[in-house]
Amino acid sequence: MAECLISELNNLFSKDSQSFVILYDIACSFHAHVMNSNCAIHTIKSKLNWGVSIFHAYAHSVKCQLKYHPRIQEDIGLTDGESLERIWSYLGKFVLNTKHMRPAHRLDILSLAIQHISQKMIYDLGNLILY
């Protein structure tokens, strides 16, 4: 699944000058897999920069942390790599309400929920900058 997503991203952003930062709970293992010539995305390995999300980094060995911790990696900045985890946590509140809906209605509700949390995050960004 991860290979397919990265391959699709590469199809959308196919210029050689474009690269990707992959923050993944098991980036160290996945990076080793991509380095294998049998991997479907092996040909784009030079476009990929790897990091383990902050929450999961401390469960990894010191050697792994020194190589994959996002605070050490170039071009990652101060992200913690947990944004999607936060979104999934927020959307989990809608499971009981949407599980019996038709797919189109479910997508409408989830789209509205994502719009709401996005607007809230943008609104709260000013407060984060001040403190």
pLDDT digits (tens, 9 = 90+) for 34-49: 999 999 999 999 999 9
79 — pLDDT class (breaks 50, 70, 90):
confident
Placement of tokens 């050490």 in the chain:
72
Indicate whether 73 belongs to any domain. no
Q: Does 90 lie in the same domain as 57?
A: no
pTM for the model: 0.66
**Which range of residues forms the domain containing residue 117?**
83-130
Residue among 54, 34, 52 nearest 44 (CA): 34
Cβ-based neighbours of 121, under 8 Å, separated by 6 or more: none
Q: Does 89 lie in the same domain as 62?
A: no
Distance, CA of 43 to CA of 46 (rounded, Å): 8
What proportion of the chain, given as a percentage, has pLDDT over 90? 47
Indicate whether 108 belongs to any domain. yes
Q: Which of 36-40, 49-53, 77-81, 123-127 has the highest mean pLDDT?
A: 36-40
Distance, CA of 55 to CA of 95 (rounded, Å): 25
Count of structural domains, the chain: 2
Distance, CA of 75 to CA of 68 (rounded, Å): 12
